A and B are shown apart, each in its own frame.
Chain A
Amino acid sequence: MKIIVCVKQVPDTSGKVAVNPDGTLNRASMQTITNPDDLNAVEAALALKDTTGCQVVVVSMGPPPAEGMLREVLARGADEAYLVSAREFGGSDTFATSQIIAAAIHRIGVGEGDIVLCGRQAIDGDTAQVGPQIAEKLHIPQVSYVADIQMDGSTVTCKRILEDGYMTVRTQTPCLLTCIKELNTPRYMSVPGIVGCYDKPLTVLNYEALKDEPLIEVDTIGLAGSPTNILTSFTPPQKGAGMMLEGDGKETCEKLAGLLADKHII
């Protein structure tokens, strides 16, 4: 049994974000982190490894510095890593990304007993599309928004969150699950893990390595081939600050209530 976890390195959007004059993001100015939901996916895989002894393989598509992130995931306890990286893959939308990652997973091999885990969504694009699209391209069932996983042989039972409750969904391996933060609390890297992570195998899959994979369609990868294109990107105008009221006492509150009444909104 093998668990393949898809992990993305993302800019930390909770910090200060600089925007270039042309409306694109100044990525160089931003810290990168491992996508938060993906750490829950990694933890779910490691927890299954603890109980079943299965193998945990991590896959990331991104520029070469993502290797550092993959080493960290190896230090947490994953066994093997693949970095999918090529200029031809850059600028891919979710359709293109999922096609390339599905091809890489197909190359690694996914069969009976295996599970693919993704995070629910990546905080840079917030699309939550790559997981389901990988599942479609691999022709395996998916369960998204997973908050609990129970394994019984090849049967996987998941708690799948809805806005107004949850569903319990059963499926068979191989399958793809997308993980949410309610699933678990990610563990830290251990000292032996950090020491050992450089001895674990990390393979780079470039364009040459994947171009003949049957899942790769050369005209729907990368910036040029992606089905969706960015027409314009822009920053929203800052809403002008309103009025700071003097004080914090009774008169201040009465003044505010009066203003609201004048505007007929109370």
Chain B
Amino acid sequence: MATFNNTDLAAFKDVWVFCEQRQGKLMPTDFELISEGRKLADELGVQVCGLLLGDGVDGLARELGGYGADKVYVCNSPLLKDYTTDGYAKVVCDAVESRKPEVVLFGASTLGRDLGPRCAARLHTGLCADCTHLDVDMPIYKDFLRENSTLPSERIEGVKTAKVLGQDHDVSRDLKMTRPAFGGHLMASIICPRFRPAMATVRPGVMKKAPFDQKKADACQIVALDVALTREEIHTEVLETVKAAKKLVDLIGADYIVSVGRGIGKDVEKGLKLAEDLAAELGGVVGGSRAVVDAGWLSADHQVGQTGKTVHPKIYVALGISGAIQHKAGMQDSECIIAVNKTPTAPIFEIADYGICGDLFKVTPLLTDAIRAAKAAK
């Protein structure tokens, strides 16, 4: 069936980033995605544009330019003050249908993963969830495979076309969206060859933010779009938005993370205290495995892993964590991994730069002291 988006693919141009704001504040992922979008737009030879929805949010647009946005489309309406699936999906889809971007990226937040699929279904196109890597350019993509896969080089060289409706389709201009599947056991690169735009949600904290450039911010073009949205089109009502009372831990931005696992179970309070002391000495924060979060020892914002956060600190210390694949999925790209575990066969040692086999209650305070001494000796 011919629809508006599968007949003339060449009519679709530009890389768009849906820029999420909450209570009038941009999300850190917006800057990561604009920076990543800039890279993709350069590979495609097109512009990268932000799409910003809200009520009176014009003032936020220019900052996006500082990270590389050529243009920011701003949609203002009192009806867009609170996030609603219906309101936001209508405005995003209207903008996409009239301006025809080739690629649309969303942050894989709890809102992005609500909005993205609704829009993709309405726009009749594909969406790849929770991506951790994006490419267009083939040589760059192949370099990525060489470094990050166990595929033999002949297989990598042979990546050229995909079977699309029985025909060989050249993938050199397609967005290649790579993501983990099956709990991190497997990676897959996905394309969306028949329909435009190609859409992806992208995991927060994975893409690198470019340095802010005031000149680019000043040059960024800001375009107000008309919003055709009525209250009757919104079928949900936000009664209240409640912020968590306590400050959430910033794992994604942290350079040093000390994570605890079920191994602290013998004396949870003491285990957490030891981890906090070590984190404080390093100038970092405490994280945890899912087992610890499920047990209620730490709140969910501390969870590292496939269903938690992806982190890449300078040092990741794993105290009493076994190293299940779902945990590794969130921390294996840390610069330096230190594992303390009393079981010599714990899988965490397979990826640790430095392993100490021992009781964390004994080792942790010694390590904190030793690090304090080493810093003082510098």
Number of cross-chain contacts by CB at 8 Å: 283
Task: Tell me which residues from 300 to 315 in chain B have a Cβ below 8 Å from any Cβ of chain A.
Answer: 301, 306-307, 314-315
In the complex, B215 has a CB within 8 A of chain A: no
Task: Tell me which residues from 1 to 39 in chain A have a Cβ below 8 Å from any Cβ of chain B.
Answer: 11, 13-14, 17, 19, 23-25
Given A163-B301, A169-B238, A228-B127, A254-B186 contact (CB < 8 Å)? no
Residues of A within 8 A of B155 (CB): 232
Residues of A within 8 A of B82 (CB): 167
Task: Tell me which residues from 335 to 370 in chain B have a Cβ below 8 Å from any Cβ of chain A.
Answer: 335-338, 349-359, 362-363, 366-367, 369-370
Partner of A132, one of B114, B171, B240, B314: B114
Cα–Cα, bound, A166→B306 (Å): 21
**Nearest CB on A from B164, distance (A):** 7
How large, as a class, is the contact surface on chain A? 35 or more
Cα–Cα, bound, A249→B121 (Å): 58
Partner of B324, one of A14, A131, A230, A248: A14
Residues of B within 8 A of A198 (CB): none
Residues of B within 8 A of A217 (CB): 1
Cβ–Cβ contact B162 & A162, under 8 A: no
Cα–Cα, bound, A265→B282 (Å): 10
In the complex, A94 has a CB within 8 A of chain B: yes
| Closest chain B residue to A102, Cβ basis | B121
Cα–Cα, bound, A260→B367 (Å): 11
In the complex, B103 has a CB within 8 A of chain A: no
Residues of A within 8 A of B301 (CB): 163-164
| Closest chain A residue to B329, Cβ basis | A236
**Nearest CB on A from B4, distance (A):** 14
Cβ–Cβ contact A126 & B129, under 8 A: yes
Task: Tell me which residues from 153 to 180 in chain B have a Cβ below 8 Å from any Cβ of chain A.
Answer: 155, 159, 162-166, 171, 174, 176, 180
| Cβ-closest 7 pairs across A and B | A248-B358, A13-B183, A227-B126, A242-B353, A228-B126, A234-B149, A127-B129
Selected A-B contacts with CB under 8 Å, 28 pairs: A13-B326, A14-B326, A124-B181, A126-B307, A129-B116, A129-B117, A129-B120, A136-B89, A141-B86, A144-B114, A162-B22, A162-B110, A163-B248, A163-B301, A167-B239, A175-B235, A227-B194, A229-B191, A230-B188, A231-B176, A232-B159, A236-B187, A239-B350, A239-B351, A248-B357, A249-B366, A265-B335, A265-B336
